[in-house]
Amino acid sequence: MLKLLAADGIDPEIQAHYRLITSINDTVGMHTHDFFELFLILKGSVVHVINGTRQLLQENTLVFIRDRDVHCYEQTGEGDCQLINLSFYKEVIDELFGFLGAGFPSDRLFEPELPPTILLTKTEKEYVRYRLDQMNVIPSDEKLVVKAEVRALLTDLFSRYIRITAEKDDPYGQPDWFLALCSEMRKKEHFTRGTSALLQLSGKSHAYLCRMFKLHLKISPTQFINELRMSYAENLLLNTDIDILDISMETGLENVSYFYELFKRRHHMTPYRFRQFGRIMRDKL
């Protein structure tokens, strides 16, 4: 069994390594390693052979690979796949979980046989790609800056996305109707309408939906919808020149003050600052 070592391929000062993989042919065969990874599928699909199981992963999938996992990638019949890989020292993940504290369910990320996997929306995928690409715009000799950016990125991704998989009582136990409802609500014509669309699509009572969202996602229906709204707003801020007031309306939030409150709670900066920062990073690419 091939075992990849952090000491052989990861800069010890940065303790992380970013890589854009444009073809599955550029990956190694079945292997394990003494470090951790996140990978994000940018384009296409791939067969992920992981711990004796074959998974078909589609575009927009984010996966956390643990240091005990044994895996490799295989092409599907539909063609090749493009993905981003971020590998990092065990020390980095230990420090991250220590920072997030006892309230973060870190132990539950290691219990399942299969690694934590989450299917992002297209706008969520673009946001994660944007954050990962920032690694390339920092001068290579500024290693401490890169190291800090890696830690900021991982804190964001784990608290925003990976924790969702850890907090489910049964990651694979969601009812089909609930999975279908969440998928349908990711469409703009639905999440912009808010809880009224959720109730209409589900045909269930508000109280029952609140119980189901708390049970399966550990958040309320309103929080779920607002997460979708903020992801959509992030995409518009980064990729368009639409006025911020109009973006608020586009997300279905007519109360602009509430829009700002939600955005600042998520990013610790205003939408304007977020847009300006995004433009600076894009200009450096």
Question: Given its phi and psi angles, is residue 127 left (phi above 0), alpha (psi -120 to 50 degrees) or beta?
Answer: alpha
Count of Cβ atoms closer than 10 Å to residue 239 Cβ: 13
CATH number of domain containing 37? 2.60.120.280
Same domain, yes or no, for 147 and 193? no
Length of the chain: 285
Strand locations in 213-269 (E) = none
Same domain, yes or no, for 163 and 218? no
Same domain, yes or no, for 55 and 35? yes
Q: Is 88 helix (H, G, I), strand (E, B) or coil?
A: strand
- Report the b/e string of 260-281 with b at 16+ CB within 10 A: bebbeebbeeebeebbeebeeb
Which positions of the chain have pLDDT values less than 50?
Answer: 169-172, 285
Q: What are phi and psi of 171, to 5 degrees?
A: -55, -25
| Whether 160 contacts 272, CB under 8 Å | no
Exposed/middle/buried for 248, CB within 10 Å: 0-12, 13-18, 19+? Answer: buried
Please tell me the total count of domains within the chain: 2
Predicted local distance difference test score (pLDDT) of residue 265: 87
Predicted local distance difference test score (pLDDT) of residue 283: 59
CA proximity to 171, closest of 128, 121, 215: 215
Same domain, yes or no, for 158 and 203? no
Same domain, yes or no, for 120 and 254? no
Predicted local distance difference test score (pLDDT) of residue 172: 45
Sign of CA dihedral 82, 88, 93, 95: negative
Predicted local distance difference test score (pLDDT) of residue 168: 54
How remote is the C-alpha of 262 from its chain's centroid? Answer: 19
Last residue of a domain, one of 167, 193, 212: 167
Same domain, yes or no, for 107 and 85? yes
pLDDT of 221-240, one tens digit each? 999 999 899 989 988 998 88
Predicted local distance difference test score (pLDDT) of residue 169: 45
Last residue of a domain, one of 146, 167, 188: 167
Predicted local distance difference test score (pLDDT) of residue 238: 84
Predicted local distance difference test score (pLDDT) of residue 281: 60
Segment holding 83, helix H or strand E: strand 81-88
Same domain, yes or no, for 156 and 192? no
Predicted local distance difference test score (pLDDT) of residue 171: 44
Token output for 205: 């009572």
Same domain, yes or no, for 60 and 197? no
pLDDT of 34-75, one tens digit each? 999 999 999 988 999 999 989 888 888 999 999 999 999 998
Predicted local distance difference test score (pLDDT) of residue 249: 96
Segment holding 255, helix H or strand E: none
Same domain, yes or no, for 222 and 271? yes
Same domain, yes or no, for 136 and 181? no
Same domain, yes or no, for 127 and 157? yes
Query: Residue 24 has what DSSP assignment?
Result: G
Last residue of a domain, one of 167, 198, 219: 167
Rounded to an integer, what distance in angstroms lies between the CA atom of residue 133 and that of residue 285?
9
Domain extent, residue 144, equals: 2-167
Predicted local distance difference test score (pLDDT) of residue 282: 58
CATH number of domain containing 212? 1.10.10.60
pTM of the prediction? Answer: 0.62
Same domain, yes or no, for 161 and 27? yes
